[in-house]
Amino acid sequence: MKKLLFIGLLFIGLNLTAQTDSRIYDIINAVSAERIESDITTLANFGTRHTLSDTISETRGIGAARRWIKSEFDKISADCSNCLNVFYQKDLVKKGENQRIVKDVWVVNVVAIQKGTKYPNRYIIMSGDIDSRVSDPTDFESDSPGANDNASGMAGTIEAARVLSKYKFESSVIYLGLSGEEQGLFGGKGLAAFAKEKGWDIIGIINNDMIGNIKGVDGVVSNRDFRIFSEPVPPTETERQRRARRFYGGEVDGISRQLARYVHKTTKTYMPEMNPTMIYRLDRFGRGGHHRPFNDAGYAGIRIMESHENYTQQHQDIRVENGIAYGDVLEHVNFEYAKKLTAVNAINLASIAWAPPAPETVEIGGIVEPSAKLKWNKVDGARGYKIYWRETTSPTWDNSRYVGDLTEATLDGIVIDNYFFGVASVGADGHESMVVFPNKIFR
Ligand SMILES: [Zn+2]
């Protein structure tokens, strides 16, 4: 009997570290390519969703598009006993703010919040964009279906809401449609400021921008590859923090990078058929996306995106030139692939929203000693903690040790100089918080 009990406990211990919550597989299976196809088609059929386009028509322009998105979130909410709080968040952007704002415009985002049961003020966000554009960024009248850029990200966000609204989470989940992206990232800027003003504790934003193209302009075809963009350290860090990095490390361990590693790991664990590539940069070379304004405000934020882009199918007037069909039209979107990347988002939102908060303070010691030492603060709701470490040249947290409900641990024989370290909280179901890079030194 005693022996059996011991084995039972051992299995609980294993479960805590293996992350095998079967609900995660249910979530992957519940994501529907058919519904994503239907939603991308609806969005593309609004003709144009340019930020400056018509807002009165019921069938064409960004007004009709955002009202439809809101009505979809309202429907999802009605299906889960009003589990979503759905509203518009808007800011007036004045003509001349930049060259792409050729008249005054209300930049209107659609927000759907699924309140957390235990930590209602902690938020993990998934976003896509409402707006689209053609060759001339100020052309708000020509047909601009924006099927991949970015009806795919918007449809994925709506579908994630459908699937996840069937569950209850400890932290809040926000499904977010942002506008004004192509005109200068205005929607993200507005929403980040709104979040600051409300005092929201944002865990991070997973921004989806173009998750539907599998055929690269260079001929590479893959329905398994995707990219996770993240900046190395927050632009809001202080001069003191910057100087400390020279001596204690952290050049590639900012909060957005930890979110990128989290998504990479969750994908590898539950969807091993996928090939996520972490790209160690804010975004594509010189280009923008809606996670950036959140980064600017000091929040963790990453961009999820296809790996193989086709530049003849983004930001283009619909036309045929030299035998090439230009334009971001429905025919080029692979809905099964958009489904996979939507599932990647959904399982990460769920894992993070089911996990306890990360420790706020992680201290590291072990200078001129043979073993590294870590201390952290106790987290309400954490069943235990996991110490992670990796070689300094590795992009992923390759080594880990679950240490149970302690607030300090020594890694015997692991010399502090030769690795980077971090600590995560582990919840009752084995879901883990983001890894926290040490933010204090002790001797
Ligand atoms: Zn774009």
Whether 380 shows a pLDDT value over 70: the answer reads yes
The CA 276 to ligand 1 mean position distance, Å, reads 21
Q: Classify burial at 99, counting beta carbons within 10 Å of its beta carbon; exposed 0-12, middle 13-18, buried 19 or more.
A: exposed
The CA 273 to ligand 1 mean position distance, Å, reads 28
Which among 413, 417, 384, 387 has a CA at the least distance from the CA of 400?
A: 387
| Whether 49 contacts 131, CB under 8 Å | yes
The CA 245 to ligand 1 mean position distance, Å, reads 34
Whether 417 shows a pLDDT value over 60: the answer reads yes
Across the range 389-403, mean pLDDT stands at 98
Q: How confident is the model at residue 14 (pLDDT cuts 50, 70, 90)?
A: very low
Domains 17-354 and 362-441 share a fold: no
Whether 338 shows a pLDDT value over 50: the answer reads yes
Q: What is the CA radius of gyration of the chain?
A: 22
Whether 290 shows a pLDDT value over 70: the answer reads yes
Please tell me the distance from the alpha carbon of residue 301 to that of residue 174, in angstroms, as a whole number: 14
Whether 430 shows a pLDDT value over 70: the answer reads yes
Q: How confident is the model at residue 19 (pLDDT cuts 50, 70, 90)?
A: low
The CA 158 to ligand 1 mean position distance, Å, reads 19
The CA 421 to ligand 1 mean position distance, Å, reads 37
Whether 12 shows a pLDDT value over 60: the answer reads no
Count how many Cα atoms sit within 13 Å of the Cα of residue 404 in the half-sphere of its side chain.
4
The CA 164 to ligand 1 mean position distance, Å, reads 27
Whether 2 shows a pLDDT value over 60: the answer reads no
Please tell me the distance from the alpha carbon of residue 289 to that of residue 256, in angstroms, as a whole number: 14
| Whether 231 contacts 300, CB under 8 Å | no
Across the range 266-270, mean pLDDT stands at 96
Please tell me the distance from the alpha carbon of residue 382 to that of residue 397, in angstroms, as a whole number: 20
What percentage of the chain exceeds 70 in pLDDT? 96
The long-range contacts involving 9-16, CB below 8 angstroms and separated by at least 24 positions, are 13/402, 15/430, 16/383, 16/384, 16/402, 16/426, 16/430
The CA 329 to ligand 1 mean position distance, Å, reads 13
Amino acid at 50: H
Whether 342 shows a pLDDT value over 60: the answer reads yes
pLDDT of residue 16: 43
The CA 335 to ligand 1 mean position distance, Å, reads 19
In sign, the C-alpha dihedral spanning 280, 281, 284, 289 is positive
The CA 210 to ligand 1 mean position distance, Å, reads 8
State the chain's maximal CA–CA distance in angstroms: 78
The CA 103 to ligand 1 mean position distance, Å, reads 20
The CA 132 to ligand 1 mean position distance, Å, reads 7
Rounded (to 5) percent helix, strand, coil in the chain: 35, 25, 40
The CA 142 to ligand 1 mean position distance, Å, reads 16
Please tell me the distance from the alpha carbon of residue 376 to that of residue 440, in angstroms, as a whole number: 10
The CA 440 to ligand 1 mean position distance, Å, reads 40
Cis upstream peptide for 150 (omega within 30°)? yes
The CA 181 to ligand 1 mean position distance, Å, reads 7
Which among 95, 340, 105 has a CA at the least distance from the CA of 212?
A: 340
Whether 7 shows a pLDDT value over 70: the answer reads no
Whether 44 shows a pLDDT value over 70: the answer reads yes
Whether 349 shows a pLDDT value over 60: the answer reads yes
Which among 85, 27, 118 has a CA at the least distance from the CA of 351?
A: 27
pLDDT of residue 378: 98
Beta strand 119-129 with 171-178 is parallel
Amino acid at 54: D
pLDDT digits (tens, 9 = 90+) for 135-186: 999 999 999 999 999 999 999 999 999 999 999 999 999 999 999 999 999 9
Whether 11 shows a pLDDT value over 60: the answer reads no
Angle CA(108)–CA(109)–CA(114) in degrees, nearest 5?
150
The CA 2 to ligand 1 mean position distance, Å, reads 62
DSSP state of 152: I
Burial 18-53 (b: 16+ CB within 10 A, else e): ebebeebeebbeebbbebbbebbbbbbbbbbbbbbb
The CA 134 to ligand 1 mean position distance, Å, reads 9
The CA 251 to ligand 1 mean position distance, Å, reads 29
The CA 183 to ligand 1 mean position distance, Å, reads 9
Q: Which residues surround ligand 1, an ion (CB under 5 A)?
A: 149
CB within 8 A of 238, min separation 6: which ones? none
pLDDT of residue 20: 75
The CA 208 to ligand 1 mean position distance, Å, reads 11
CB within 8 A of 287, min separation 6: which ones? none
The CA 314 to ligand 1 mean position distance, Å, reads 7
The CA 289 to ligand 1 mean position distance, Å, reads 8
0.75 surpassed by pTM: yes
The CA 328 to ligand 1 mean position distance, Å, reads 10
pLDDT digits (tens, 9 = 90+) for 81-136: 999 999 999 999 999 999 999 999 999 999 999 999 999 999 999 999 999 999 99
The CA 148 to ligand 1 mean position distance, Å, reads 9
The CA 67 to ligand 1 mean position distance, Å, reads 21
The CA 413 to ligand 1 mean position distance, Å, reads 50
Task: State the DSSP H helix or E strand holding residue 200, giving kind and residue range, or none if neither.
Answer: none
Where are the chain's structural domains? 17-354, 362-441
Q: How confident is the model at residue 401 (pLDDT cuts 50, 70, 90)?
A: very high
Residue listed under structure tokens 């641990």: 409
Whether 15 shows a pLDDT value over 70: the answer reads no
Reduced to 3 states (helix: H, G, I; strand: E, B; else coil), residue 264 is helix
Q: Which residue has the higher pLDDT, 13 or 361?
A: 361
The CA 315 to ligand 1 mean position distance, Å, reads 6
The CATH class of 17-354 is alpha beta
pLDDT of residue 18: 54
Measured between alpha carbons, how far is residue 18 from residues 109, 349, 402 in Å?
A: 38, 18, 10
The CATH class of 362-441 is mainly beta
